[in-house]
Structure 1
């Protein structure tokens, strides 16, 4: 992460009415003030499409706990502190224990993971390092996930890779204290 933003987030007073409307029409909760949104909104066309795609995945069909494990592992693999800190909080709210959040750093080899949780983390690793989910991991995932979820999973990891690439490159700073 860069020590300071390469492209600073827009402050509320810097936004013209159209930009403010776009921000609040695409991000309808308190997170609209987050640095990531206030930075990416500087490119309205990308912002509008990215937030739509991201919302489909953030509120997709993959169970919340599964999704947060995969996103945390992706954040770790991409060394994206911003993504890690935001999703650590979401993970704790969505059924991932504090011990499991820390174990995400260790990866799928942590001995207390269920076979399922290890497969989710392994899928994130395989996508990161090999650009595909391997046969054994796919077979495990296919035992529980239907074709829609099997499509959604690599799209989810890919989206959070793109987010990490942008956050890390643009120097988007985390808003809160680092744990």
Structure 2
């Protein structure tokens, strides 16, 4: 999967790296470290998918996170979704991944597969989705089709022939 630059998109969200540290003389020999994020910590997309917060919809960072989710979803043909996006401004930490039931190209996510269906049903495109040229996920309602009336003629019933095979007579 590759991304093209879209100047109109502006600054992009960054998922900060987490480092694994080995501490051999400690009871717990491994720990993770990441950059300290200073400022207001915001959840743009939470793990259970149910919490909708205004910062997601009304902030530039929140809208870009939504567009990023949409982009990943589209580029993987609906098989993978980045979720649990949270952080300070454009710096995100501890994201989650939801994959289709069978996984995606050998990769299993750490979030429920139902998040993908929920995202598809609830996502509302924003200006950043448009800048990226993403297709709407909402199924457009089809116009109701005209009712077709079939005329049935009133013919006399046709006499049915015996459809069973004839019985064999014993000729011995």
TM-score when normalising by structure 1: 0.25
Structure of larger gyration radius: 2
From the two aligned structures, give the one with the greater strand fraction. 2
Higher relative contact order (CA 8 A, sep 6+): 1
TM-score when normalising by structure 2: 0.26
